[in-house]
A and B are shown apart, each in its own frame.
With several copies, the nearest count.
Chain A
Amino acid sequence: MKLIMAIIKPFKLDDVREALTPLGVQGLTVSEVKGFGRQKGQTEIYRGAEYHVNFLPKVKIEVVVPSDLADQVIEAIAKAAQTGKIGDGKIFVLDIERAVRIRTGEVDGEAL
């Protein structure tokens, strides 16, 4: 199994989720994160003190899928999350050794 971790622009979340459903992905986990990268943030002004906002709001999607589905999932995310503008984000792939569904105790493929 693979853990696909994608950092995307927040407003693309729903698009990505919808793109995964047809592939049979039944679950995923999302966190709000802040990203630092080539895309430069805004300057904020507070009583004359200017803070450059280096960190931009991003969304991190973590989804575990059987290894053979990984390519398709990556492609689907990449397509759905793309705007072509700087800051679109990254997809990283990690190896997962085991998965357990807490409710039933099922493991690995069954657990996803």
Chain B
Amino acid sequence: MTRPQLKWGLASLAPMLLAAAPAFAADPKIPAADTGDTAWMLTSTALVLMMTIPGLALFYGGMVRKKNVLATLMQSFAITCIVTIVWTVAGYSLAFTTGNAYIGDMSRFMLNGLAQHIVKGVDSGFILGPGSDGAAAQTIPESVYMMFQMTFAIITPALICGSFADRMKFSALCIFITMWSLVVYSPIAHWVWAPTGWVGNLGVLDFAGGTVVHINAGIAGLVTCLVLGKRVGYGTDNMAPYNVAYAVIGASLLWVGWFGFNAGSAVGSNGRAGMAMAVTQIATAAAALGWMFAEWISKGKPSVLGAASGAVAGLVAITPASGFVLPGGSIVIGVAAGVICFWSATSLKHMLGYDDSLDAFGVHCVGGIIGALLTGVFSYGPLSATDSSPAGSPGSLHQVMIQGIGVLTTLIYSGVMTYVLLMITKALVGLRVTEDEEREGLDLALHGEQIF
């Protein structure tokens, strides 16, 4: 999601909560929708949905033990459904309407007004953040933009599941995710991507969601697995994955779908999308090779799951950078992500002793931080240049520090709020299945089904 203007300063704090934003005289003119841009955004939306189901579902489902495969698939599937409704009712409105610097307003409650420009079946483009200084004309219908953003809102909480696989109650998951989407995801998305958002207006660069999606989900995962405690038998039982082939299919679909995630964040079918796709591919390959060789050297064999994990780490790390960097920088980002995430998922985790089952923290949070900071190093001016900022935001120490603020903000807000929401959920229905249910496996215990 490219911010049309990168401004230094604080956003207007005009209280707009619950008020539909009128189209100010100062707003840019509503453009016609461009069929090419719209085509690519429709496609990107399909690709990003495919990342969660079946992509992430398989990636995670393949890494658990046989008795938990279906329950793990169910987590991604159910979150897709729950967040779709939450986003429709209020999430989109809170994230992407003008509102104030901290939260949107309720003018798109129940997607109210989404069809306002439709005449004889034809829709126009729309203005993002109407009435604000950063109001930006978009060349796609707002329905398409809402859908594209929905798929981001879906995958983010689904990523958290990696940390608490094999032991969380399904009822707890449903309640926790509903609250998390509204209380954690929507505000952070607003801060970073809405024209009025305070983090974006600080100058933090996050093209496709390094902070909003990955650091956010990763830290939430760490908190969750700490609160839940380790799996029964952790460290003694054999917890080898049931089917690494599923994990490889999942990682592959994540990779393919990520083209929609990153290149789609250009919100158009243009050179920026092309460059975002290229650096996504390159960084991912570099990270997979980085993890693979690191493992080959240190453990003697390059594992298949390692290569797949490295690819995911690379995808994560290039995400915030993808619209801003050139191929050379993307190789550095990729190798760094591959090697460091290998270390965090295999050594750091054991050193610190938390049981992040599928490394939601070790891959998504760590990879996200690497990417966010290196974006500040490698950002190439012409890619982020605009009329009002002809130099764009080229990499600099200053930019790295700004990126650091974005990272810290996310870590703190998401970490704290996740803890609070877990406590509320615990009070309501409890968080963890019984030891017997855990031993038996969540498939039978929670869903009454099993794989043969």
Contacts and interface: CB of A to CB of B under 8 A. Distances in A.
Contact of A46 (B305, B349, B439, B440): B305
A16 B57 CA distance: 35
Interface stretch (A20-28, A47-55, A63-71, A74-82): A47-55
B121 interface: no
A14 B236 contact: yes
B359 A47 contact: yes
A45 B439 contact: no
A70 to B, nearest CB: 28
A5 to B, nearest CB: 23
A91 B359 CA distance: 40
Given A11-B439, A53-B444, A45 B236 contact: no
B303 A46 contact: yes
Contacts of A48: 299, 342, 345-347, 349-350
Interface in B336-366: 342, 345-347, 349-350, 359
Given A11-B237, A11-B439, A14-B236, A45 B295 contact: yes
A104 interface: no
Nearest to A44: B448
Contact of B450 (A14, A44, A47, A50): A44
Give the most central of A11, A14, A44: most B CB within 10 Å.
A44
Given A50-B299, A51-B238, A44 B444 contact: yes
A42 interface: yes
Nearest to B349: A48
B241 interface: yes
A43 interface: yes
B449 interface: yes
Contacts of A49: 239, 346
Contacts of B63: 46-47
B233 interface: yes
Interface string A8-23: 0001001000000000
A47 B237 CA distance: 15
B426 interface: no
Interface size on B, as a range, is: 20 to 34
Contacts of B345: 47-48
Nearest to B301: A45
Interface residues of A, number: 13
A27 to B, nearest CB: 19
A11 B236 CA distance: 10
A50 B448 CA distance: 9
Contacts of B445: 42
Interface in B402-452: 439-440, 444-445, 448-450
A75 B449 CA distance: 35
Given A44-B448, A45-B303, A46-B305, A51 B346 contact: no
Contact of B448 (A11, A14, A43): A43
B240 interface: yes
Contacts of B450: 44, 53
Given A11-B439, A43-B448, A44-B448, A51 B240 contact: yes
B293 to A, nearest CB: 14
A48 B439 CA distance: 23
Interface in B291-307: 295, 299, 301, 303, 305-306
The residue among A14, A43, A44, A47 with the most chain B CB atoms within 10 A of its own CB is: A47
B280 interface: no
Given A11-B233, A11-B439, A50-B299, A45 B239 contact: no
Contacts of A42: 440, 444-445, 448
Contacts of A43: 448
A45 B306 CA distance: 9
B309 interface: yes
Q: Residue among B299, B305, B439, B448 with the most chain A CB within 10 A?
A: B448
A14 B237 contact: yes
Interface of B: 63, 233, 236-241, 295, 299, 301, 303, 305-306, 309, 342, 345-347, 349-350, 359, 439-440, 444-445, 448-450
14 contacts: A11-B233, A11-B237, A14-B238, A42-B448, A45-B303, A46-B241, A46-B303, A47-B359, A48-B299, A48-B345, A48-B346, A48-B349, A48-B350, A49-B239
8 smallest CB-CB distances across A and B, nearest first, come from A48-B346, A45-B448, A42-B444, A45-B303, A44-B448, A51-B240, A47-B345, A51-B238
Given A47-B306, A47-B345, 8 more contacts: A11-B237, A14-B236, A44-B240, A48-B347, A48-B350, A49-B346, A51-B238, A53-B450
